[in-house]
Each structure stands twice: as structure tokens, then as C-alpha cells.
Structure 1
Amino acid sequence: MDAVPGLVVLLFLLGGGTGLEPNGGYCIGSGCFALFRDPTNFRTAQSLCNAKGGHLMTVRSSVSNDVLSILLGNLTGVFWIGLHRLADCRDPAGELMGFQWVTKDSESDFTNFVPSFNSSCSAHSCVSVNKEDGFKWRQTPCGQPAAGFLCEYSFTEPCATLPAAPDQSILYMTPYGFEVEDAQLVPPGSTATRSPSGTKHICFSAEWLQAPWSCEIQEGGCEHECAEDPSDSPVCFCPPGQTVSPANRVSCEAPAPGDPCAALRCQQTCYTDADGSARCGCEHGLTLAGDGTSCADVDECADARHCPGENVRCVNTRHGFECACEAGYKKAGVQCVDVDECVSAPCEHICTNAPGGFTCACYDGYRPDAEELNKCVLFCGAEECPAVCDPNDPLLCYCPEGYVVEERDKGMFCLDIDECSFFYCDQGCTNMFGSYACFCNKGYKLVDQYKCEDTDEEPEGSVTAPTSSVAPSPSAPYPDPTRTPSAVTPAGLVGIIVCAVLLIVLAVFGVHVGLGCWERKRKKSSCGAGELKAAEDETQSLQRVISDSDKNNI
């Protein structure tokens, strides 16, 4: 059976719910009503009714009021019906005195308020009924627990009751969890069991289907287990020692005493030959196992005649097989045709459809992302290349990883960063375009792509080749710079510092004398030769750098 909308409805009705079973029910016309004796407040009762696709009962006519009386009978306690008020106070002029049904309307051909209806105002009032009041409507606080509630269910495409012979009886089980016998119409999803034969039917789309039906619904009506072959009808199975009843095809029965099948304990079926001997058998899609009694799956896909055609594959299923399309193909009638994956734009740049798949490519200046091949990242592949800039903002430019942007007269360019100058590696380093690689001396091994650890091997004075062609993982922090130890002794370092200080002092003195001489010349005075000579000797040919501000003062 195909998964049509009606089947979906049946699956919802038969599979939904909260596990709470009704204590009785009644069906009339195109509606069913269920009684639940479960103490709860109004809101919870409404939620429980909704779980099966219904709502609290609306008593809009004298007929529905009669149904209410039948269901409650001699029960004591109060029960919720689907009438409540959301306004602060009632409307005495309204037909329902300011109340409305849970279906959000006030339509009703029938009212049954108690004569002394409580006229007090409250934010949220609800209505209950009880036997002591003759099942009249009484205002009750919504949060107060009641003894139970009544649910109402509406349906379409019902089935008429099945004809029954005088020596037969039929029991109908509704999808709402209660049984009926004298209804003229039953809702879809109801099952009918005919006695004494035990045959079963299910109501689907206003028609009765005999069991076994689809295994998705109540195991196809099978007493034990149901299996379904896409190319054949569902079949029922029984536990070892029992066979499927030929009278109804759903129930399991044990062989009668003295029956030759009793000793075999066949898992599925038993056949008696003309000579009185018995043998076990299996339904379609199963084969008799080596023990001669149990049934095992048959690998129908071993038969090359199954699922012919191109781009089709056979899938072995439980008790059968099905034909499916290869990856990248879809069903079109009985054939499998290529799916154009590019329609869904799976690639960031360029998508090219291919039989059974697709390929992604990148524009010039980009290459596929190593982690997500359908995406693209900037790529240079040289020491420098033009930067990619925002057309609306020429100064907003981007470079590949491992490059830095530089502004020139002809535009913005990306320059390769020499990562080796930052001493990222413990020992050896090889710079590459957009990246770098670390390597170690003999006797050391590379760890975490930049550290060199001693391997306790004797070094031979040579170095290993680069062990990596990529920079350290971005998720790992770069190591602190590793520099070569200085060969200068402490005494030598002190001497260098003293000489540097003397040179700075002499340079400052020379500049001071030169400025004084210049000032006297400006005032038409002259500098002595001795002063100039001394300044020249002291500065040891140091030249003064004139800034733009000095030029303006000259």
C-alpha cells in the first residue's frame, strides 16, 4: 500500500496519544465521543483530547446531550465539557452567557445551564456536568480537578458497518481506543474482527481492507509478526511451533494432537503430503533454513534479473528487495536519471554537473579550501600579486593567508611574509609562498610542526629535509621567537656600551657648537677658526640631518 495522505492520518491516529485509555465511547454520524475517568483540571483535559486529534466535548444539540447522558450513566463526580469563558465577566445577552466552546465559537442549538447559574466574575471560568444536577452546565473554577472529562472526535471518509451472517458477530475497535458494536458508521483506522472466523479488516478511505494490510499499521493485523515485500502483498508469521491460520491469514495456531505437523514445529507454514508426511514451508521472500523448520531471508539481489537498467541498484530488504537509484540519480518513472546538483548551488564559485555527481572550481586568484572543498580561499602562489579590493572601497583589500597588503602608486599588492624571520621554528626554517616549514638537525625530531626534540641519536652534523610544507595549525599558538645565543663576552658588551655613550655625547656637543656658529653668522658675526676646527674634530665628520621644519626656519 502506498503512503498516501489517508495512510498518514491512520499512522497519526493509531500511533499518537498519551497512553491514557478511555473508559467508554460512542459513535454517531460523523463523530465519536470518549469518556475518560482521570482526575485533572480543564487545561490538562483539553491537552489530552488534543493528543488524539480531538477536543473537549461540545454539547450543541439534544442528541449530543443524550450521548453525554449515555456515557456518564450512573457515574458520580463532575466531568469537564468543552465550554469556558475567557472574558472577565459573562455577557447575559449572549446565547451562551459570554461563554464559548473550545473550538472558539458560540454556535449552539442547545443550552443547559443550571437554573441558579453562578453569576460571579472571574478571569477564567469553565463548565462541568454531573449526575446530581441532571448533567446540567455548572460554572466551575478551571484549575479545580474534576473526576474526568469527555472528548469529541470528528472524521471524514467513514466506513459503513460490515454485513454479518446470523451466526457471526463483528467487533469494531476505533482508533480512539474504545470498542463499538452498533454504530452505523465507523471512523477511518477502525479495525473490524469477525467471529468466529477471526478475519480482520481495517477501514481505509471509506473501504474495508482485509488483513494482512500494510505492516506499518498495527503489524498488518498479524497476531505475531508482519513482513512486507514491495513486489508482493504483506504476509504474517508465527513463532516456532505455530502456523498461520488458513482461515484468516493473521492468527497463529498450533497443530492439533496427532497432526504430523505438530512434531515439526514449523516457523511459518506446514504442508501435509498425500502419503501423510508433513513438511515445513515459507512465504514468498523467505527460504527454508537448513534445520528444515525455520525461515530465513532470501538474497533476491543475487538474481541479476532483479532491478535491470542503468544507474539502478538492488537493495535486499527484510523478506524481499527493492530497486533504488545510485547516488546522484533519482527516479523518473521506471528509470533513474541524473540529478543536477548544481541547481541547489552547492559550490561557492563554479559548479559543473557530472553524471552521478558534480565538481566545484574556483575563480582565478582562488583555490579550493582544504577543509571544505566546495568553498574557495584566496591564493597567490608567488612572491607578490595584486590584492583583492572592495570595488566600493579601494582601501579595503584582502590578501591570502601568509601575505601582507602594501599600497603602491599602481594599487594595492600582497607581499609574501617571511615567517622564518620571526623565529617560529626551533631550529631550521624554510619560507614558502604564503607559508613556511620547520625542520630539525640530525638527532632531533619535529614535534607539533615547530618544536625539535632530542631523539638520543648521535648527530652527524647535517640537517634533515623540511618535514612540513604548511604553516603550523592556526588553532595552535605560535611559539616564542627562538634566537641564536650571542657570542659577545660580558666585558666586551660593557666596552661597546661605553663607546656608544661617548659617541652620543660628542655628537650632541658638535651639533651644539655648529648651531651657535650658525646663529652668529645670521647676526653677521663670525666664528673663530678654532671653534669650527674643534667642532669638526669632535663630531668626527658626523653630518646634521635637517628636517622639513628646520628648512622652513632657515
Structure 2
Amino acid sequence: MPTERFLRQTSQMTTGIRKNLNRHSRGSNMSNATRLFALVLVFLMGKASGITTNNGYCIGNKCFTVSLEPSDFQRAQSQCRTAGGHSMTVRSSVSHDILFILLGNFTGRFWVGLHLLSGCPDADAGLKGFQWVTKDNESDFTNWLPGFDSSCSSDHCVSVSKEDDFKWIQSPCDELSAGFLCEYSFTEPCKSLTVAPSESVSYTTPFGNFGEDVLSLPPGSIATQMPAETTYVCFSKQWLQAPWSCEIKEGGCEHKCAVDPNKIPSCYCPEGQTVNPANKVTCEVQATDDPCVALRCQHVCYKNGDSYACTCDHGFQLAADGRSCVDFNDCADERQCPGENFRCVNTVGGFQCVCKVGYKMSGGLCVDYNECASAPCEHMCTNTPGSYTCSCYDGYRVNQKLPNKCELYCGMQECAAVCDPNNKYQCNCPVGYIADVREDETFCVEIDECTFRYCDQNCENSFGSYVCSCSPGYTLVGEYKCIKNKVDGEQEGSGMTSSPDTPITPFVPYPGPTRRPSAVTTGGLVGIIVCTVFFIVLLVLVAHLLLGR
């Protein structure tokens, strides 16, 4: 379609839509004020929806967009839902006419929000058994392609194309289309700005579409008036001129936004440039006689009565020199991030609310994350609010150095060994115990390491280990050696001792007596006996042969 013809047809469509709007407009299904505020906030804070919008149109309380992203029906529906809307419904001749505006320059098939959930089409039912993605079949308009297929085929979704005059075409839901159409509802729209014949206005909506001929605009839309480059934002049916709140889209400023001591937002520009006094948002070359030049403000210079002073961007505070700006610790205010299990993280010029360790974001709340799902413990795991605890089976205890690991533990003079169920001769004992076989059963017997005299002086045995200590006048060094204390003025080797009591220090075995092999296993002992008997028999046979000769 030539561009001139398309523009002329679009103008005719717009005129027709204006006339039929009162007859076909329907109430918004997103009148909830909370959802509206969330939608506007997501756009104004710059959070992208993930959809690349190639064209759009807004009318009444609805906006419609087209995306040229090849998708199956399920992905198209998910993309629209993620952006805060749903796949487009074509319930009236008004919405049908909008298809010409959206798809007049595009070829290929595009998904709309009509599908058959299950079963077979019913030619006598409303919409022939199909249903809108809004889970209803209310419609004042149908536009099926001639030759409707009533068989139980897999063509359970609907697409439209310019080549087929935007008739409703049955298509397989897993088929890749050229793109898809989304529909968004809102309340408190703004009407287009009234401008002089020599001026023009371009609009950008929260859904990405933009243009000049727009009937209504949703909250959060940005309007730029040319040639003055004055910027406005739509909020609660009104256009607010920039600069507005610095927390929202930098107040509409071309460079940066700051708040003066009177809490009034204002724009500022990079060094060597100043704010245009007419539109208060764009930057231009700074005049040499500007009184702000001498102040050399790091961020903003503003008029303070009969003089000028410096102020800083939001999230910063003025330093002692009156011109520099330093980051303000927003997290010092305990009111920041008030939600349960949230914590405040200070950032340059602001702060961020994140979940505490052990929690994750879900539906705007910080909920406990079940760490046990990833099996971090060797034996047993117990989830706790924000954390988890590891525990061990009977006969084991938690390793002090590796809390997620378990080690054998007896805690008595002797206990049964842990043996391989498939090989009763392959048994293990805790550190500091030795294996003892008694009538085909293996026990672990505690070793008294103090009998090996590993300690220089005193030794105290414990189950599985031992502790060294020193007599008064000596200090334990290296966990087993006792060094004589040196008294002030004493010459080395004088024999003088001091008498402070030296606390007993827990000892890690040196040189590892509790880590020595427990004992020869039963299987090894049997092997030694068999080899010895064989060797003796062999010697007897050799001796017998020699005597026989």
C-alpha cells in the first residue's frame, strides 16, 4: 500500500472511529487503581516490558500495539500479559477498523486473542465455540474467513492479515506468525494537547507506541511540544509540565534533575551548558556572563533570593565547600524498605530494596527460600526462616570445619563399627578409635593417645582425641609443646619460672596420632594367615624331596 494511500485511509478510519466510539466503547476491565498506579510506575521508572513495539494506537480507555516478533500463540499471549495487557480482542467494528491502522503497512499473519480451549468448533455456538483470552465469548462482531472448518482439527487459534482483508483465520497454535497484537486498558486518560498551527506534539505511551494523531493517552504518557521542546507527563487526566518529581524519569530533564532547598525540582546540565529558560528541561551553551560560572557547582546552580547558590541531584548532599556533592546514605533512614524481610542497599545517588539473605522476591514480597531443595547437606537438612540447618544420622556428627558434612562419632569407650553391608570385613571407625574383631563382629575401641606421650607435659584423653596442657610457668606452643615463660630481667637458661595459670587450649593432634590407621582389617588378617600356611607347606614339601634324594 503506498504511503499516501495509507495515510489517507488512516485519517478516514480515525474519523469513523471518533463517530462510532460512543456506540461501541466498553468499560475498562482494569479499573483497579492499584494496578493502574503499578502500570504507570513501571513505565516512568524505566522498566522495559520486553516487547519491541512497532506501531500502536490509543482510543478511549484502551491502547493497541503490534509487535513484529515471530511467535507461536502461547508466547504471544505471555508477552502481552507480561507487559500488563492481553492479546487483542476484536469485539466490534471499531476494533476491526484499528487493525487497518496497526497492520496497514505490514504483511503476514498476526495473532489476535481468540482461541478454542478444547473440543471441536460448534457452528451454532457464540463465536463458534471459540473464546477470547479474557475467558469470555461476548462479541458484537464476527469476521470469520469463508469456509469455516468445523472439524476437530488442530487449528484452534486465530490470526489476521492484510492479505486476507483481516478476516479471522483458523491457525495451528504452535505455528510461528509474523507477529502479534496486544491490548491494554487504563483509566483517567489525558486528551491530546491543544497547540498552535505552527506547533506540533509527539507522544510516547507506556506501551511504547508513539505518534501525533492520538485520541487519548494513558497515564504515564510523555508529550513533547515542538519547536519549544517543552515536555509534559500525563497523570490523573492532567498534563504536568517538566520538571516534575526527580524520582520519575529524571523529572523530564534532558540531563539530570535536582531538588533545591525549597523542595522544588529543577533540571541541570553538564559543565559548560545551562538549562534553556523557556522549556526548563533542555541544555544549551552557557553564556560567559552567567553568574553561575564563578560558583563552579558540581551539580546545580539556582537563584537564591538576590544571589545564586549550589545544590545537588537527588540522592546527594552538598559538601562543606558549598559546591561539591557527596553521596547521601539513604539507608540511614530506617523508614526505607519497610517491608518484612527487606533490606536497604545504598547506591550512588539512591538506594535499592532487596531481600535479606535466605529470602527471594515473589509477587512484590520477600518470601523464605527453601535451601534444602538444592540438597546442601550430606545427610539431613532442616529449612529455617532465612537459612537452614544440617544434621546427621545416628553414629555421626556434624563436621566442625565443614558444617554441611558428617563424620563418624562414637562418644563412648567403644561402639559397633560401621561396616559395608556387602562386605562385613570392610569396616570403618571414628578418628581416635581402633577396630577390634570379636566373633565375626567388629567393634571400635577408643585409643588412649596419652600413652604415646605426644604432649610435652600434661595430657588429658577424651573420646576420639586428647588435649595437651602445661604446668604453671610454661606456655603451650604448637598445641603440644611447652615453652618456659621468660620473666622480666631473666637471662635465658636461669631456671626462674613464673606462676600464672595457663588455660588449657583445645588440641589438634600432633603429629596426628588420632588419624593413624585403626588396625589390620579382618580380611587382611585372614590373607596373612593363608599365605603363612601356604609358605610352611611349601617348605615341608621341599624338605621332603631333598631327604628322599
TM-score range (shorter-chain normalised) is 0.5 to 0.7
1:70 corresponds in structure 2 to: 101
Q: Does 1:227 find its partner at 2:258?
A: yes
Structure 1 pair 30–479 and aligned structure 2 pair: CA distance change class (3 A)? farther
Q: Does 1:252 find its partner at 2:280?
A: no
Indicate conservation of the 8 Å contact 2:260/2:302, yes or no. Answer: no
Equivalent-residue separation in structure 1 for 2:125 and 2:112 (angstroms) = 19
Q: Deviation string for 1:13-67 (max 9, x for gaps)?
A: 3433344431111001100001111222222222221232011111111110100
Structure 1 pair 193–461 and aligned structure 2 pair: CA distance change class (3 A)? same
Q: Does 1:156 find its partner at 2:187?
A: yes
Q: Does 1:83 find its partner at 2:114?
A: yes
Specify which of 40, 52, 55 is matched with residue 10 of structure 1. Answer: 40
Identity of aligned residues (%): 47
Q: Following TM superposition, by how much is the alpha carbon of 1:172 offset from its aligned partner in structure 2, in angstroms?
A: 1.9
Q: Deviation string for 1:219-256 (max 9, x for gaps)?
A: 11111112346961222221111011222221111136
Q: Following TM superposition, by how much is the alpha carbon of 1:183 offset from its aligned partner in structure 2, in angstroms?
A: 2.8
1:126 corresponds in structure 2 to: 157
Specify which of 112, 115, 123 is matched with residue 92 of structure 1. Answer: 123
Structure 1 pair 83–467 and aligned structure 2 pair: CA distance change class (3 A)? farther
Q: TM-score, structure 1 length as denominator?
A: 0.54
Specify which of 134, 141, 145 is matched with residue 114 of structure 1. Answer: 145
2:325 corresponds in structure 1 to: 297
Q: Deviation string for 1:184-234 (max 9, x for gaps)?
A: 321011112222222222122333322122222211111111234696122
Q: Following TM superposition, by how much is the alpha carbon of 1:73 offset from its aligned partner in structure 2, in angstroms?
A: 0.7
CA RMSD of aligned residues (A): 4.9
Equivalent-residue separation in structure 1 for 2:331 and 2:262 (angstroms) = 8
Q: Does 1:237 find its partner at 2:265?
A: no
Indicate conservation of the 8 Å contact 1:60/1:110, yes or no. Answer: yes
Equivalent-residue separation in structure 1 for 2:483 and 2:331 (angstroms) = 61
Indicate conservation of the 8 Å contact 1:86/1:123, yes or no. Answer: no
AA of the residue aligned to 2:310: C
Structure 1 pair 444–201 and aligned structure 2 pair: CA distance change class (3 A)? same
Indicate conservation of the 8 Å contact 1:171/1:181, yes or no. Answer: yes
Equivalent-residue separation in structure 1 for 2:468 and 2:262 (angstroms) = 63
The residue correspondences of 1:323-338 to structure 2 (distance < 5 A) are 324=333
Equivalent-residue separation in structure 2 for 1:157 and 1:92 (angstroms) = 40
The residue correspondences of 1:28-427 to structure 2 (distance < 5 A) are 28-122=59-153, 125-228=156-259, 232-255=263-286, 268-269=300-301, 281-283=309-311, 295-297=323-325, 317=328, 324=333, 426=455, 427=457
Q: Does 1:428 find its partner at 2:439?
A: no
Q: Following TM superposition, by how much is the alpha carbon of 1:88 offset from its aligned partner in structure 2, in angstroms?
A: 3.5
- DSSP-derived class of the 2:206 partner: coil
- DSSP-derived class of the 1:193 partner: strand
Q: Deviation string for 1:73-118 (max 9, x for gaps)?
A: 1421111111112214222332122221122222211111101123
Q: Deviation string for 1:305-337 (max 9, x for gaps)?
A: xxxxxxxxxxx838xx9994699x9xxxxxxxx
Q: Deviation string for 1:279-316 (max 9, x for gaps)?
A: 975347876997xxx94238xxxxxxxxxxxxxxxxx8
- DSSP-derived class of the 1:71 partner: helix
Structure 1 pair 212–243 and aligned structure 2 pair: CA distance change class (3 A)? same
Equivalent-residue separation in structure 2 for 1:471 and 1:40 (angstroms) = 67
Equivalent-residue separation in structure 2 for 1:283 and 1:171 (angstroms) = 32
Structure 1 pair 93–5 and aligned structure 2 pair: CA distance change class (3 A)? closer
Structure 1 pair 100–210 and aligned structure 2 pair: CA distance change class (3 A)? same
Q: Deviation string for 1:401-435 (max 9, x for gaps)?
A: x99xxxxxxxxxxxxxxx9x99599442689xxxx
Structure 1 pair 103–13 and aligned structure 2 pair: CA distance change class (3 A)? farther
- DSSP-derived class of the 2:201 partner: strand
2:469 corresponds in structure 1 to: 439
Equivalent-residue separation in structure 1 for 2:300 and 2:247 (angstroms) = 20
* Unmatched 5+ stretches in structure 1: 299-315, 330-401, 404-418, 483-554
* Unmatched 5+ stretches in structure 2: 1-33, 339-410, 413-445, 486-491, 517-549
Equivalent-residue separation in structure 1 for 2:41 and 2:484 (angstroms) = 67
Equivalent-residue separation in structure 1 for 2:71 and 2:285 (angstroms) = 46
- The number of residues matched between the two structures is 361
2:371 corresponds in structure 1 to: none
Indicate conservation of the 8 Å contact 1:439/1:465, yes or no. Answer: no
Equivalent-residue separation in structure 2 for 1:6 and 1:74 (angstroms) = 32
Equivalent-residue separation in structure 2 for 1:152 and 1:255 (angstroms) = 46
- DSSP-derived class of the 1:183 partner: coil
Indicate conservation of the 8 Å contact 1:438/1:466, yes or no. Answer: no
- DSSP-derived class of the 1:192 partner: strand
Q: Deviation string for 1:325-350 (max 9, x for gaps)?
A: 699x9xxxxxxxxxxxxxxxxxxxxx
Q: TM-score, structure 2 length as denominator?
A: 0.54
Q: Which has the larger radius of gyration?
A: 1
2:430 corresponds in structure 1 to: none
